[in-house]
């Protein structure tokens, strides 16, 4: 394997589910900070445990023309049917209020017991949103949650507890403090307190009985927290919703991106047909968290399964797959979270070109035949960037060869990555092509092509020695640590499954 680890090899751009999101917070005991006693820590831990099923990490993700961005805050459960109140600031950030980005799509998700085996998440709709008041009301569908009790006004010096996500620490923290004073009047009234969440400005403020007394939305120059008091929250919830602007709706991401990319298309029931000058038509559709780019091809002739897998080895963005109806397609799946207009434009262009190339000459599996469709770039310059991304995944890793990295996941074989023609190539080999004879290998080849249809993250291909690899390529311009970590974990799991299914097949490569 070490010889392969050092080699730069082509593959297909894989799809990634929205699991490439920022790390989930973990429910952990509070950690000490200057000025906190053992009693403070014990009280904070008790309150944290008491309210845990009524507190959510709220993730607001925006897909823009500049890429994906995620903002987080803490919300509390207001009603048993999944009503959640949180600060409105992250919604405004995700809508590009502070910049010139075009926002194609905004999604909101509430995560409960994040970072534990009991983690559960719910997609949310924005019911109300007021940037003037600084509050938002979300609705989590079919949520199994516990409402928190609303408290009242607190006195100066009374114990309070701030629940927040400390910036960059990846866990939920409870910090003990004291109420300082209320300041301002009416809609501008704020609660100042000494607890604000270890560097996180946003969060939930509760009293010693776990009752909500405010939402932390900022901090003073003296490092005290500023919270919207519960009385203001209640007044806003009781006010007529029609008095404020409706929640922002950036629209449908796929259609907006195709239009932004100046592509010609026809839309029918959420499916987009893109005609090209070479008499091909590429299809694009958004299925949940994935954008699927495909092109229908003539039926796969008998005896061509192995050749189709070899063809995949030379493809820069997608690959050949068999549908459940045994139809042959060129297929690429792009995660919504990482898609941009220019990225989709390039994938669609390559879909048309590679699909036409298969129709014209399905026997041409050479690497050179697809070289022009790779993004390209200086490998020497891009390798240090890949090294930094590998480091940021948090996965155990080591050099795997010249300009290559060997990553280890929780299960399965090691996974390798290196830069090839401007893309990060992520791969692992399961062994030689399974099958005792040519007929059995051809049957298994079609099974592997059917796996490609269902695989959300990568594809199977045969190299020049007919050794079998799970692989994925991601242009370096779009690669993020969470994306690479998910690919590595999926690669290891898929190869382990192949080995479990087909056994230990010797490699064909000749040293």
Residues 6+ apart with CB under 8 A from 496: 411, 412, 413
Flag whether 507 is in a domain.
Answer: no
Please state the three-class secondary structure of 105-131 as a single string.
Answer: EEEEEEEECCCCCCCEEEEEEEEEEEC
Q: In the sheet that 415-420 helps form, which strands lie side by side, from edge to edge?
A: 397-401, 404-407, 415-420, 423-432, 467-475, 459-462
Q: In the sheet that 271-275 helps form, which strands lie side by side, from edge to edge?
A: 266-268, 271-275, 281-287, 290-296, 328-335, 319-322
Asked whether the beta carbons of 72 and 110 are under 8 A apart, the reply is no
Residue 82, both tokens? 């999944």
Flag whether 511 is in a domain.
Answer: no
Residue 243 sits at φ, ψ, to 5 deg, of -75, -5
Residue 349: predicted pLDDT:
94
Whether the per-residue pLDDT at 120 is higher than 50: the answer is yes
Residue 197: predicted pLDDT:
55
Q: At what angle do helices 253-260 and 341-360 cross, to 10 degrees?
A: 80
Flag whether 508 is in a domain.
Answer: no
- CA 456, 284, 424, 362 dihedral sign is positive
446-473 tens-digit pLDDT: 999 999 998 877 899 999 999 999 999 9
Judgement on whether residues 379 and 267 belong to the same structural domain of the protein? yes
The CATH number given to whatever domain includes residue 363 is: 3.30.1460.10
* Pick from 249-253, 334-338, 421-425: least confident: 249-253
Flag whether 168 is in a domain.
Answer: yes
Judgement on whether residues 230 and 359 belong to the same structural domain of the protein? no
Residue 315, both tokens? 């493809």
Residue 25: predicted pLDDT:
38
Residue 388: predicted pLDDT:
93
422-446 tens-digit pLDDT: 999 999 999 999 999 999 999 999 9
Reported residue count of the chain is 511
Judgement on whether residues 81 and 190 belong to the same structural domain of the protein? yes
Judgement on whether residues 325 and 228 belong to the same structural domain of the protein? no
Whether the per-residue pLDDT at 234 is higher than 70: the answer is yes
Judgement on whether residues 220 and 320 belong to the same structural domain of the protein? no
354-363 tens-digit pLDDT: 999 999 999 9
Distance CA 438, CA 449 (A): 16
Residue 30: predicted pLDDT:
45
Whether the per-residue pLDDT at 98 is higher than 70: the answer is no
Indicate the pLDDT class of residue 167, thresholds 50, 70 and 90.
low
Flag whether 102 is in a domain.
Answer: yes
Flag whether 510 is in a domain.
Answer: no
Distance CA 22, CA 19 (A): 8
Indicate the pLDDT class of residue 4, thresholds 50, 70 and 90.
very low
Judgement on whether residues 226 and 301 belong to the same structural domain of the protein? no
Q: How many domains does the chain have?
A: 2
Asked whether the beta carbons of 448 and 308 are under 8 A apart, the reply is no
The CATH number given to whatever domain includes residue 124 is: 2.40.10.120
Region 311-333: mean pLDDT is 93
Judgement on whether residues 11 and 38 belong to the same structural domain of the protein? no
Judgement on whether residues 233 and 368 belong to the same structural domain of the protein? no
Distance CA 407, CA 498 (A): 19
Asked whether the beta carbons of 470 and 460 are under 8 A apart, the reply is yes
Whether the per-residue pLDDT at 264 is higher than 70: the answer is yes
Domain boundary among 243, 274, 296: 243
Judgement on whether residues 396 and 498 belong to the same structural domain of the protein? yes
Residue 18: predicted pLDDT:
27
3-class SS of residue 6? coil
Indicate the pLDDT class of residue 171, thresholds 50, 70 and 90.
low
Domain boundary among 195, 217, 243: 243
Region 221-246: mean pLDDT is 82
CA 442 to chain centre: 36
User: What range does the domain containing 465 cover?
Assistant: 2-17+252-502
Residue 412: predicted pLDDT:
86
Asked whether the beta carbons of 90 and 71 are under 8 A apart, the reply is yes
Judgement on whether residues 464 and 434 belong to the same structural domain of the protein? yes
Domain boundary among 243, 267, 291: 243
Region 343-353: mean pLDDT is 92
Flag whether 221 is in a domain.
Answer: yes
What's this model's pTM, rounded to 2 decimal places?
0.57
* Pick from 34-38, 110-114, 203-207, 376-380: least confident: 34-38
46-77 tens-digit pLDDT: 888 888 889 988 888 876 656 667 888 889 99
Q: Please provide the average confidence, as pLDDT, over all residues in the chain.
A: 83
Closest CA to 196 of 167, 210, 175: 175
272-301 tens-digit pLDDT: 999 999 999 999 998 777 889 999 999 999
3-class SS of residue 272? strand
Flag whether 489 is in a domain.
Answer: yes
Distance CA 391, CA 389 (A): 5
Judgement on whether residues 183 and 332 belong to the same structural domain of the protein? no
Judgement on whether residues 40 and 114 belong to the same structural domain of the protein? yes
């Amino acid at each position: 394997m070490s010889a392969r680890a050092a080699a730069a090899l082509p593959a297909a751009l894989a799809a990634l589910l929205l699991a490439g999101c920022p790390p989930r917070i973990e429910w952990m005991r509070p950690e000490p900070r200057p000025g906190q006693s053992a009693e403070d820590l014990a009280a904070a831990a008790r309150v944290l445990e008491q309210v845990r099923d009524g507190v959510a990490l709220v993730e607001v993700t925006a897909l823009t023309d500049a890429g994906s961005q995620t903002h987080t805050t803490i919300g509390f459960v207001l009603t048993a049917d999944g009503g959640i109140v949180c600060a409105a600031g992250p919604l405004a950030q995700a809508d590009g209020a502070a910049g010139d980005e075009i926002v194609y799509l905004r999604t909101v998700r509430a995560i409960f017991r994040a970072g534990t085996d009991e983690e559960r998440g719910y997609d949310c709709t924005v019911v109300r949103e007021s940037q003037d008041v600084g509050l938002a009301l979300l609705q989590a569908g079919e949520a199994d949650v516990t409402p928190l009790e609303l408290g009242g006004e607190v006195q100066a010096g009374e114990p309070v507890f701030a629940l927040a996500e400390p910036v960059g620490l990846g866990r939920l923290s409870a910090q003990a403090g004291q109420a300082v004073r209320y300041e301002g009047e009416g809609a501008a009234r704020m609660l100042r307190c000494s607890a604000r969440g270890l560097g996180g400005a946003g969060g939930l403020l509760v009293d010693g009985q776990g009752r909500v007394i405010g939402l932390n939305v900022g901090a003073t120059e003296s490092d005290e927290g500023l919270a919207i008091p519960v009385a203001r929250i209640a007044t806003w919830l009781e006010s007529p919703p029609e008095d404020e602007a409706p929640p922002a709706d950036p629209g449908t991401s796929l259609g907006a991106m195709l239009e932004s990319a100046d592509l010609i298309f026809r839309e029918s029931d959420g499916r987009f047909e893109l005609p090209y000058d070479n008499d091909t038509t590429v299809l694009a559709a958004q299925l949940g968290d994935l954008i699927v780019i495909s092109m229908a091809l003539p039926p796969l002739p008998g005896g061509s399964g192995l050749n189709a897998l070899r063809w995949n080895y030379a493809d820069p963005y997608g690959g050949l797959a068999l549908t459940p109806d045994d139809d042959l397609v060129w297929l690429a799946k792009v995660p919504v979270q990482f898609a941009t207009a220019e990225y989709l434009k390039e994938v669609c262009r390559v879909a048309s070109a590679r699909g036409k190339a298969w129709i014209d000459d399905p026997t041409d599996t050479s690497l050179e035949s697809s070289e022009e469709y790779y993004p390209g770039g200086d490998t020497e310059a891009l390798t240090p960037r890949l090294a930094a991304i590998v480091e940021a995944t948090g996965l155990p890793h080591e050099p795997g060869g010249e300009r290559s990295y060997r990553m280890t996941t929780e299960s399965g074989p090691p996974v390798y990555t290196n830069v090839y023609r401007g893309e990060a190539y992520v791969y692992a080999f399961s062994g030689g092509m399974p099958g005792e004879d040519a007929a059995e290998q051809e049957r298994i080849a079609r099974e592997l092509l059917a796996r490609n249809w269902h695989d959300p993250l990568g594809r199977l291909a045969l190299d020049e020695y007919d050794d079998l690899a799970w692989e994925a390529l991601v242009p370096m311009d779009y690669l993020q640590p969470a994306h690479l970590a998910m690919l590595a974990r999926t690669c290891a799991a898929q190869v382990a499954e192949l080995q479990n299914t087909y056994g230990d097949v010797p490699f064909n490569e000749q040293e």
